Amino acid sequence: MAIRDFLAVPAGRGHRFPAVRVAAGLLIPLLVLILLGRTDLTMCAIFGSLTGVFGRSEPHWRRLRHQAQSGVLMILTVTAGVSMSLAGRSDWEVVAAATVIAGIISVAADYLRVRPAGPFTYIFAFTATAAAPFTGTVGEAALAAGGGAVTAVVLGIAGRAHARRHSPHLHRPAVPPPNWRAILQHSGRYVAAVAAAGSLAVVAGPGHSYWAMLAACAPIAAASTARAPLRAAHFIAGTYAGVLLSALLLQPDWTPVQLAVLLTLLQFAGEMYVIRHYALAMVFLTPVALLMTGFVSTQPVRDLTIDRAVETTIGAAVAVAVVLLTTRRREPQAPSTESAAPPVEGYRQPNRS
């Protein structure tokens, strides 16, 4: 049954338009920055554009609210990461800051009921920008991230004006009050997993410990003991395959425009599968994470790919252990948290616009 669940790929109907929307939100800011000669800001813009992954299956006005909230959180995390990079903070300081941010963002996202919930995307933004070299200013980073976020929000609401069929005005049931016990329990899992995974990665050797912290976030989204190991298996298998694909894609010397188009195509492919099959999505999203630094720096392909594979294993293993140790049979159900680059099920059929 576990193998059958892992291999099952639901039908893709209804996912194309959201994927196009997210991909376009990535491409537009990148092309603008390339034309302006500011490729040093592309990473910040990419993370801002990931605002488009939030609320992808929601009605337009609810999507607008949740994307606006997520965009603000994304700008704050990018700004914090760039500040850490400019200050030359140590790996241990980045791990400590990421742990705090994971706990805070988890609470905020669950309280706001943003979907996909959890700090996965925000931790990605913070840790990646904190680890990458940056020559601009914090204000420029915030502006680039804000431009990407605004582009995503505009594209997210634009379908309202042209959609052939609008969502009917249905009576909305009363929203239950926040279950603070469940929210704080879930936040505690993220804190424990991020802290443990980041610490183990730093002890194992200098490098990109942020990938271990990112890998620790993905299985936590599946807070039940039944789903967490499956989510971890998806993340590990998909990332391993994505690392191999990245090794091939890192060989050519891409021009900035070519790299922007390549990242857009990979993001589109990842968004086509991110809800349907997490492992397949990670095959395409892993190269996005590894290639986005190509605008500002180059790294040895062998070291980069091995580092990613090892840290993925560390982070996913830590996450499963945390979930198994902290989940009780009769505990309150944690908030539904399909994670960003993120979950396999839990969404309704996406809006076609």
DSSP 22-88: HHHHHHHHHHHHHHHT-GGGHHHHHHHHGGGGTTTTS-HHHHHHHHHHHHHHHHHHHHHHHHHHHHT
* Residue predicted with more confidence, 13 or 192: 192
Task: Indicate the pTM of the whole model.
Answer: 0.83
Q: What is the pLDDT of residues 187-228, one digit of tens each?
A: 999 999 999 999 999 998 766 688 899 889 888 876 555 666
Cβ pair 312, 237 in contact under 8 A: no
**CA neighbor of 50 nearest in space, from 148, 184, 164:** 148
232/236 Cα distance (integer angstroms)? 6
Q: How confident is the model at residue 179 (pLDDT cuts 50, 70, 90)?
A: confident
Q: How far apart are the first and last CA of the chain?
A: 35
* Residue predicted with more confidence, 289 or 33: 33
Between the alpha carbon of residue 224 and those of residues 47, 210, 232, 293, 330, the distances in Å are 29, 24, 12, 35, 11
Look at residue 208 in the predicted model and tell me its pLDDT: 66
Q: What is the pLDDT of residues 114-131, one digit of tens each?
A: 888 789 999 999 999 998
Chain position carrying tokens 């090794």:
247
Between the alpha carbon of residue 308 and those of residues 247, 294, 338, the distances in Å are 11, 16, 23
* Residue predicted with more confidence, 159 or 11: 159
Q: What is the pLDDT of residues 118-170, one digit of tens each?
A: 899 999 999 999 988 898 999 999 999 999 999 999 998 886 665 545 555 55
Q: How confident is the model at residue 343 (pLDDT cuts 50, 70, 90)?
A: very low
Torsion, Cα of 200, 309, 53, 151 (10° steps): 100
DSSP class of residue 274 equals T
Look at residue 330 in the predicted model and tell me its pLDDT: 46
Between the alpha carbon of residue 172 and those of residues 62, 68, 310, the distances in Å are 12, 21, 46
> Which ranges constitute the DSSP H helices of the chain?
2-7, 16-36, 42-49, 60-87, 91-112, 120-131, 138-162, 180-204, 210-220, 228-249, 256-273, 278-291, 301-326
Return the ∠ at Cα 265 (arms to 262 and 271), rounded to 5°. 140
Q: How confident is the model at residue 350 (pLDDT cuts 50, 70, 90)?
A: very low
> Among positive and negative, which fits the CA dihedral 60, 66, 69, 72?
negative
Look at residue 252 in the predicted model and tell me its pLDDT: 87
Q: Provide, rounded to the nearest whole percent, the portion of the chain with pLDDT above 70.
A: 79
Look at residue 336 in the predicted model and tell me its pLDDT: 44
Look at residue 210 in the predicted model and tell me its pLDDT: 83
Q: What is the pLDDT of residues 266-288, one digit of tens each?
A: 999 999 888 777 889 899 999 99
Q: Cβ atoms within 10 A of the Cβ of 298, count? A: 10
Cβ pair 176, 329 in contact under 8 A: no
**CA neighbor of 317 nearest in space, from 215, 191, 207, 184:** 215
Look at residue 341 in the predicted model and tell me its pLDDT: 40
**CA neighbor of 190 nearest in space, from 114, 76, 106:** 106
**CA neighbor of 197 nearest in space, from 101, 314, 118:** 314
213/194 Cα distance (integer angstroms)? 5
Q: What is the pLDDT of residues 299-332, one digit of tens each?
A: 677 777 888 888 888 998 998 898 888 876 544 4
Provide the mean pLDDT of the chain: 82
Residue 5 has pLDDT above 50, yes or no: yes
Backbone angles phi, psi at 282, to 5 degrees: -65, -25
